A = this chain, B = another copy of it.
């Protein structure tokens, strides 16, 4: 692999010389600003060998560097070893920005021009990057040259998988109703129409699902909404007769994917909303309208609030997912004690058990199963080279999720495979405290995730511990496992948390080279009933709280009970009683006995 990367860099540099470019930037996205992309857009992985979901590779004629965030520091270090890439750790003091690094690297270069593929960056990102580069000795940016087309001979083609209807019993709202709401939101910002390019927004709006992207039930397309016309830009081969007639019923015109740019050049209405943080730069550049309304798309915020049908679907999916998880947990320890199990084996077993559940449609992300020191690698994915045999001791961290047609799941459990150290118990219990404290929280309607984030961290902070990733993200309803626009995290996210939103609760602690702990449930935001109205200068009328959707026991073996408050213990016992009550009826006698034990009061 190291030699392969060297060869690819050589080909790249030959092209850079030919085009008189000083450097090239490879990011991790696709023309739809996706977090997970179809293989065709995995150019950053192809050029660097680093396969994390987030990262940017930058190559000059004689140097190369890769920026990624704390989730991937350890994985990236491993994967870049032996290549000429220098690892740049984001948000760590002293790490230069891409522009700063390029400013130094290209100080004496012949060409001060940097290339990148404008279709894989949002318009806002390119505009910011251009500004930053200009300030570094006047570097310029060329965005209309996709170097991968020249050098990546075996580049995967556009995915052509079939698109499916998402029935109304799970979607809960018709496409017509959704389009009416979207048009109302557009009118509020005086927009005649919008270009939608976020794939999960399109799937949600149209009540359609695809399988173009690994783990994400979306399909590659653009949706152009005008005041009286809607056009879907998609490869027609992907549409079944049923979907075609469904789209016709909705008065939605179908045009080839490649023609979205042409349509934007021939836009017939006065103005159009283009979300600069969503639409890619190459497409945004083509818009011809009297006015471009540069505002956030209203669709993500609509999609984030789940309707009753979606909420019930999520609950049903969580129950089936919980059944599979309990069967797996029941199997796990004896299997490890019997020997021969590895991180990959137990992940496969979990996948198999999930796939036996009705409405299963695949994983929602690649399972992270990290044993002992691998648990400290936040987004670890076992490979045949790293795959570690499990022994009956220490901690196993498993973060996994599945797609069911009625909902998406995401759960992390850290499991004691045998004897633990005192430090492991203490860290486990502190993480659990943070996890529980957030679920116990009541908060005023309109609070943001940034305001709530410290509640999950406080028990860890008191012990001088912290984690650098977010505490929670939205989860789709048979859609992407990471959904915005709301989040619970340290960084400022202005979107308020609202009734009907899903959000994860996943504090963790990672002690490099030793072990990691994370505990994660998916929560649904609900209204607190029966809160009296008080005066407006003091109390607010409406408070929100969380309903726990995830149903799966939390390992009680590592807990140091003296570190938990009465309230925290009560929460855990009530949660376990609910898990038992809901899941036990679906188990055989042996599994049920195991679950009874696993959910017994502490």
Contacts and interface: CB of A to CB of B under 8 A. Distances in A.
Given A447-B490, A451-B454, A458-B455, A70 B464 contact: no
Interface string A141-177: 0000000000000000000000000000000000000
Contacts of A532: 464
Contacts of A490: 447, 451
A565 interface: yes
A356 interface: no
Give how many copies assemble into the complex.
Answer: 2
Most buried by B among A441, A455, A537, A539: A537
A462 B545 CA distance: 9
A427 to B, nearest CB: 9
A531 interface: yes
A512 B492 contact: no
Interface string A455-489: 10010111011111000000000000000000000
Contact of A451 (B443, B450, B528, B540): B450
A516 B516 CA distance: 46
A444 interface: yes
B378 A543 contact: no
Nearest to A533: B464
B453 A376 contact: no
A570 to B, nearest CB: 14
Given A441-B458, A464-B534, 17 more contacts: A74-B537, A89-B536, A440-B462, A443-B454, A443-B461, A450-B492, A464-B531, A464-B543, A466-B539, A468-B537, A509-B539, A511-B535, A511-B538, A512-B537, A512-B538, A513-B535, A516-B538
30 contacts: A70-B537, A73-B537, A74-B537, A376-B535, A378-B537, A441-B458, A441-B461, A447-B454, A450-B450, A450-B492, A451-B451, A451-B454, A454-B455, A455-B455, A460-B539, A464-B528, A464-B532, A465-B534, A465-B538, A465-B539, A466-B540, A467-B537, A509-B539, A510-B537, A510-B538, A512-B535, A512-B536, A513-B535, A516-B538, A565-B565
